[in-house]
Structure 1
Amino acid sequence: MKFKKPVIITAVSALAVSAALLTQPTYAAQATKTIKAVYNNIAIVYNGNTVPSDASTEPFMINGTTYLPLRMVGTALDKKVTWDGSNKRVVIEDNAAPVDNSTVTALNNQINTLNQQLTAAKSEAATKDATIAQLQKDKAALQAQIDSNKNNNNNNNSSSNISDLEDDLNDDFGNYEDTDSEIVLSGNKDKVTLRVNVDKKGWDKLSSSKKTNLIQDIVDDIRDTYKDATISGTVRDDSSSDTLSTISVRSSGVASVTEESSGLEVSELEDEIQDDFSTYKNVKFDIRLSGDEDKVTVRVYVKKDDWNGLSVAQRSDFKDDIVEAIENEYEDADIAGTIFDSSDNSRLDTFDN
């Protein structure tokens, strides 16, 4: 190993000593100092590589401390070291990697390309947004058409179902008690209008309970098909289309039949009753009415033997039918009736409502 004897050095400049000496205040007045430096072939190794040096940059030791030339160390560490004489400072900076014009041009070109791609992407996004908006409009239009077709199908199905139900009702109730009933339905599953066309004479012969039972049976069958439908209707004379009764149905499904007043005078009502009941079970009767819509007096003349020849039930039905016929015309009238022997005017029976 090469060994050098100690050398006496007078240090004036900071660039020849280590960073440790630079930690002394830089603002002190310039001075000189005699130091003893020892050179001992000290090498600098950075990341496994020896940093070359010469006599002017060789490291040395002073009082056991190793000193390295700062510029050589900066070069080894890829740092820029300069001396600021005006301010007596050592300035250490990172070496900026040089960028040539071709790199700058390439980067600018890349930026331009990215800007173009961004503009194209924005245009494409706007086009897609417009397409999506149009598709949404088309979808809404198609849905509306589907809903319309569905409603039409439902209405067609409803009409078909009502027609089938109408046929079934006429099969079941068309010949009810000689009324020659024709049942007509209209509407849909939510609202059904019922019209019952009848022979007036046959209808008038029905008791109130039989009329109500007929209408209730019809309503029940309608509700079997259309559970939640509201139902209303009328009973009409099939020859004149006059309304004989009004039909109303509660939400519970209970039907009621309200007789319409025809406005007949008592004498006209007498003629109708005479036409309807002058012959009953092959027995001849002469029926007379008097009074008004509030109170009706009925006088019935019949041969005593013929009257007594009727059974008790037949006599009761006859009286009830007359009362109901009068009530159909005068709903609130008080009715008082008497059966007389036509031969001597003796009283055979009485009835009322």
Structure 2
Amino acid sequence: MKFKKPVIIAAVSALAVSGALLTQPTYAAQATKTIKAVYNNIAIVYNGNTVPSDASTEPFMINGTTYLPLRMVGTALDKKVTWDGNNKRVVIEDNQAPVDPSTITALNNQINSLNQQLATAKSEAATKDATIAQLQKDKAALQTQIDNNTKNNNSSSLGDLEDDLNDDYGNYESTKAEIKLSGNSDKVTLRVNVSKTGWNKLSSSKKTNLIQDMVDDIRDKYKDASISGSVRDDDGGSTLADISVRSSGTASLSEKSSGVDISDLEDDIQDDFANWKNVKFDIKLTGDEDKVTVKVYVNKDDWNSLSTSHRNDFKDGVVEAIEDEYSDADISGTVYDKNDGNKLDNIN
């Protein structure tokens, strides 16, 4: 057991540069002080464990205050304690826990393994994407082939049915009928081109019966098909009657007044006069068999380039074409500048 032993310690503060002791006023003065330290077998206990010490590291008391060697305390608390002589300071830092090299190796191996798995997954994904793209391409090609086959089959079937209809009804009552079919098994369009004169000689019942027989033959082939169509003049192509068929299969005709639709007549006149005398005209018709209004749009300079006789010939030609279809119609109209809409001439 140690006894209390007073010890006199001399503490000296100094600042040294190049090995010489400086005493200039700009630096702190060197001081020496005599103190009395008392050793009393003081022990340090950390978390229930006594920290070992020797004569050089034994704690002591000065004026009732216990002093512990800082390095010993740092070791007990797992702290790094160093002396910075240049700056005269004690530096305390946390100790870094050493990393086992085997742990680093294991982590690197894990990273490499994951990178390999990622590369494999990307490669597999790219392969699957390429397979999907090829399958989609093959699917599109097959669908195109199926559509073409269906179209060809429908066209072939419609063509055969069209031939049969022409054989059965092609010269019905001198109508010189020519039957055209288009569409598919779900929807069939029936167009019957006839001699206008022969068609107009038929009674309403004969016209309806003729179309009904055609519709019945179509429904024998395509039971659920929706059927519609028209009867047209084989000369001018104008619509003589519209064909409609109920879901029950009953056909009906809606005949046009005087056998001419105003829009069809407009198309015919446009075809005949659109580039008359190398001048471009846009011709519009409105009205009915009793009254027809004509609107002609042309470039003003082109219109003025025509002679008076040519202008009159153009207007008379349009009126005569209308009168051929609507002999009793009141016909009037106007020629407009197509650029600004200003009136250029009258048609009457």
**TM-score calculated relative to the size of structure 1:** 0.47
| Higher Rg of the two aligned structures | 1
Work out which structure has the larger RCO, using CA pairs closer than 8 Å and 6 or more positions apart in sequence.
Answer: 1
Greater fraction strand: 2
**TM-score calculated relative to the size of structure 2:** 0.47
